[in-house]
Amino acid sequence: MCQRLPVPALVPYRTDDPFCKVNRTLAMAAHRGAAAVSLGDKGHLNGDSGLRDWPEGLRWLQRFTDAAR
């Protein structure tokens, strides 16, 4: 059984991730008490997807930490 996380959490996901379907991602986030945000259809979030420095991810991280304060 999944336990809720004791801290705020954010799950960024992609709508076309070949390793985890959207409904599964959203269910896992909900079971952990995490917010989920769609980043569109750009494949799996990893180094092979060409993210490089990934400024979009840094913006999401900044928004998340600002909201958590």
* CA distances for 66 relative to 26, 48, 54, angstroms: 23, 29, 19
Q: What is the pLDDT of residue 23?
A: 97
- Name the band, by pLDDT with cuts 50, 70 and 90, for residue 1: low
pLDDT tens digits, one per residue of 18-55: 999 999 999 999 999 999 999 888 889 888 887 788 88
